[in-house]
Amino acid sequence: MRSSKSKWITIGVCIALVLIWKLNVPGQQNKYNIIKWLPPKPTDTLTPVQTSSKACVKFEGRLGNLLFKYSSLFGIAKKNNVNATVPTTLPLLRMFHLSAQTGSCKCVNNFKEKKGCTFEREVMEIGGKHDICLTGYYQSWKYFNDSQTELRKELKFKQHIEINAREQLSLLKRGKCDDSACVLIGVHVRRGDFVHKEHLRKYGYTSPDKNYYIKAMKYFRDKFKSRLFIVASDDTAWCKKHINGDDVVFVRRNNTPEVDMAILGMCKNTVMSVGSFSWWAAWFAGGEAVYYGGYPKPGSELASLVNEQDYRLPGSIKM
Ligand SMILES: *[C@@H]1O[C@H](CO)[C@@H](O)[C@H](O)[C@H]1NC(C)=O
Ligand SMILES: *[C@@H]1O[C@H](CO)[C@@H](O)[C@H](O)[C@H]1NC(C)=O
């Protein structure tokens, strides 16, 4: 009698336990337990756990510098599969509809660029435990070459800039470049600090003399019968003295940098000066570009930081 009773109690407890287990364990977890026991795939063990989600760069400098920094951040973030993040105060936000989110990164480890105008491939794959924080200039098209299509879509000037530039351009063209065959060539002449600041010149910054512009313009004059050179500069007085011809007009002096950039970008081809503003003017124009081969000064400290292949706009012509 006694053993039969305890037998039934044991069976009852077992049934109860099975029921409790069945009711409390959802099917998902059951499946998960089975999956967990499969041997890991080799790729699972090789992929580091990604916990970084953002990439930031320290923004400083003027328009040309900011464009390099933003575009490289854009490309680097894409490659690392994280979100490009920019400060709300970034001046570029006033000029373009950028896709980057605004905010800041938690900067534990900074990636410091070694040279300013040399592509450092390792930064394209540094995703890891922390947000990616970049310091440096990142002046190489190779950082954003694979993201060019997306980048060109978002680096379109906001409407008020576009309209302003277009109006100025049509006034400059009037009577000088009216037929549809007429080709516009933007000429950027940067002098300012590169000419007048001794320490910058020593470091390796140079600015071309008039002979470069004459030569570069001859190249386009030979090529296009009907053309107009649109000259934008921080030193219009110098330009008016040294760059002349019936086919030359000057952009007015009091424009914002972004309006000057938009005007040069609307031209088909570009005569570049030196520095990042010129580089971007040619990038926006997207046609043929001529650059000054005497920059940076050969043998200078600056020259040692520049990798020609990485820095020069692809396809641009040295003069
Ligand atoms: C990037 O931002 C989007 C939208 O805020 C978010 O859904 C996504 O998870 C973020 N990516 C990473 C890697 O954090
Ligand atoms: C740059 O991009 C173009 C097309 O998008 C591609 O043909 C070219 O190989 C790329 N160059 C490098 C160095 O990645």
pLDDT digit string, tens, across residues 106-134? 988 789 999 889 999 999 998 778 899 99
Report CA 311 to chain centroid distance, whole Å.
13
Could you tell me which residues come within 8 angstroms of residue 258 by beta carbon, excluding any fewer than 6 positions away? 63, 95, 157, 161
Answer whether 275's CB lies under 8 Å from 190's CB: yes
Phi, psi of 102 (to 5 degrees): -100, 150
| 13 compared with 261, residue with greater pLDDT | 261
Q: At what angle do helices 257-266 and 276-285 cross, to 10 degrees?
A: 40
Identity of the residue numbered 246: D
* Mutate which of 121, 146, 310, 311 for ligand 2 pocket (most atoms within 8 A of beta carbon): 146
| More confident: 13 or 129 | 129
Q: Distance between alpha carbon 231 and the CA centroid of its chain, in Å?
A: 25
Q: How far is the CA of 36 from the centre of ligand 1 (A)?
A: 27
Which neighbouring-strand residues pair with 183?
A: 227
Per-residue pLDDT, 50: 61
From the candidate CATH numbers 3.10.580.10, 3.30.1330.60, 3.40.50.11350, 1.10.3720.10, the one assigned to the domain spanning 159-318: 3.40.50.11350
Ligand 1 center to 106 CA (angstroms): 15
What residues contact residue 44 under an 8 Å CB cut-off, 6+ apart?
none
Flag whether pLDDT at 67 surpasses 70.
yes
Q: Report angle CA 99, 140, 272 to the nearest 5 degrees.
A: 100
- Distances 263 to 175, 227, 250, 283 between C-alpha atoms, Å: 18, 16, 11, 13
Over residues 189-215, the pLDDT tens digits come to: 998 777 777 888 888 888 899 999 999
How high is the mean pLDDT of the chain?
88
Instruction: Indicate the residue type of 241.
Output: K
Pocket of ligand 2 (CB under 6 A): 142, 145, 148
| Separation of alpha carbons 69 and 255, rounded Å | 23
Strand stretches in the chain, DSSP E: 54-57, 83-86, 101-102, 110-112, 132-135, 183-189, 227-233, 248-250, 269-271, 289-291, 317-318
Q: Is the peptide bond before 26 cis (omega within 30 degrees of 0)?
A: no
Q: Distance (Å, rounded) from C-alpha 2 to C-alpha 151?
A: 84
Q: How far apart are CA 239 and CA 260, in angstroms?
A: 15
The CA 140 to ligand 2 mean position distance, Å, reads 13
Least confident residue range of 37-41, 252-256, 257-261? 37-41
Q: Which of 26-35, 91-100, 161-170, 194-203 has the lowest mean pLDDT?
A: 26-35
Q: Which amino acid is at 261?
A: M
Contact between residue 295 and residue 206 where contact means Cβ atoms under 8 Å apart: yes
Provide the 10 A C-beta neighbour count for residue 61: 12
Ligand nearest to the CA of 50: 1
Domain ranges of the chain: 54-152, 159-318
Alpha-carbon torsion (228, 183, 71, 204), positive or negative = negative
For residue 147, the ligand closest to its alpha carbon is: 2
* Residue whose token pair is 């499969």: 38
Closest-approaching ligand to the CA atom of 102: 1
Do the Cβ atoms of 105 and 55 come closer than 8 Å?
A: yes
Whole-model pTM?
0.83
Mean pLDDT of 82-106: 96
Return the structure tokens found at 170. 């049509």
